[in-house]
Amino acid sequence: MLLPHGTVVALLDGKTFTLLRNTGTEAHPELTELPTPKLDVHNHSGTSHHSRPGNHADSLVAEDAHAIAATAWLNAEVIAHRITHLVVIAPPRTLGEMRLHYHKLLDQALVGEVAKELTGRHAAEIVTALRAF
């Protein structure tokens, strides 16, 4: 996957949200970490999970709320034209939840998606993983 200069790479999992920007070229990307935005997860409670004794719905609700809050932040940045090219990297379940909340302009800004857990990895590892797609 080629990354145009300025592409933002959003790395997510159930608890972490990391942003990187390609400060290199399309052929030779160099990912630079951006400040982590503060997310408001309190307004994004999951409605599809109900907690009962013995299940893990509470953790799923928290993970979904995190994914929804991150997507809301990304939507706002794309709508405001602060992000024009975007790659989203998240585990399959998180990515699936995010897709439910993509704004149509975010869909248009997407350069690609990677359904894989890469949070906490070094930039070089992320670039290697992106080249595989």
Express each pLDDT in 21-32 by its tens digit.
999 999 899 999
Task: Give the chain's domain count.
Answer: 1
User: Could you tell me if residue 48 is inside a domain?
Assistant: yes
Question: Across residues 77-104, what is the average pLDDT?
Answer: 97
User: Could you tell me if residue 87 is inside a domain?
Assistant: yes
Q: Which of 90, 94, 98, 92 lies closest to 120 in space, CA to CA? A: 90
Max CA pair span of the chain? 52
Kindly indicate the confidence band of residue 75, based on its pLDDT and cuts at 50, 70 and 90: very high
pLDDT score of 52 more than 90? no
105 lies in which domain range? 8-131
* pLDDT tens per residue across span 92-112: 999 999 999 999 999 999 999
User: Could you tell me if residue 121 is inside a domain?
Assistant: yes
**Counting runs of H as helices and runs of E as strands, what totals does the chain give?**
4, 5
